[in-house]
Chain A
């Protein structure tokens, strides 16, 4: 398992009305719970720029979630970052919609979605071996 340090756990409570985060550590479970407690069923309409997005969490990108130049996590294959739903609904994942991640790094975060999402995700994330070959 990845050894992580949830340094964002001690961060101040996030304001659910904020729409822009830059250069911050975001503990995804906490951000999610803040939104759930505020009556939001998902994290919507945020832009994260150069943030460290920390789990443990499994993200359910649902509608217009964009990843630009992000490091999605350390895995020998991007498929190792993915889970597939068994039923029509997903429980326990953190729903996100209309969010943009720019040059962010994900740590101990998995991703769940249906087949089309998984294929797109796997195609868009270079594998660790290919990064090593290119010297990144």
Chain B
């Protein structure tokens, strides 16, 4: 299910097109399709996969509420990480120890020209520092 209720009309995304909720969460490549990250993860779990692995997203809107655990091989290119209220740190959570239970593991995925909504991000220190460095841009 979407963060935005389709019954109330499909609003424009920040991608210059109306919301377009994917009808196939099993794809390996999504183009101009939108989804909730927890729905995608639940789909993969039901199919015996414990991570979202090797999927490409182009021009997609990915919604929460969810925390994405960024694992190696995942890349972001021209992505809107979402409303940060002026501090990119507001999108970042740091694991207290060495696990991130409750976060959705995303590995070897590519996000290009995507926008995120109501998503937070966690990962290892290197990944977190790369995200936190975004605030230096602009």
Contact = CB atoms under 8 A, between A and B. Distances in A.
B63 to A, nearest CB: 9
Interface string A30-72: 1011001100000000000000000111110000000000000
A131 interface: no
B126 interface: no
A86 B102 contact: no
Contacts of A19: none
Contacts of A86: 89-90, 92-94, 128, 132
Contacts of A93: 65, 67, 93, 120
B97 A79 contact: yes
A89 interface: yes
State the main secondary structure of chain B at its contact with A.
mixed
Interface string A98-126: 00000000001111100000100000000
Interface centre among A9, A36, A79, A86 (most CB of B within 10 A): A86
A90 interface: yes
Nearest to B95: A83
Q: On chain B, which size bracket covers the interface?
A: 35 or more
Contacts of B89: 85-88
Interface of B: 1-5, 8, 36, 38, 41-42, 45-46, 50-51, 64-68, 82-85, 87-105, 118-122, 128, 132
Contacts of B103: 56, 58, 83, 110
A33 B83 contact: no
A90 B94 CA distance: 11
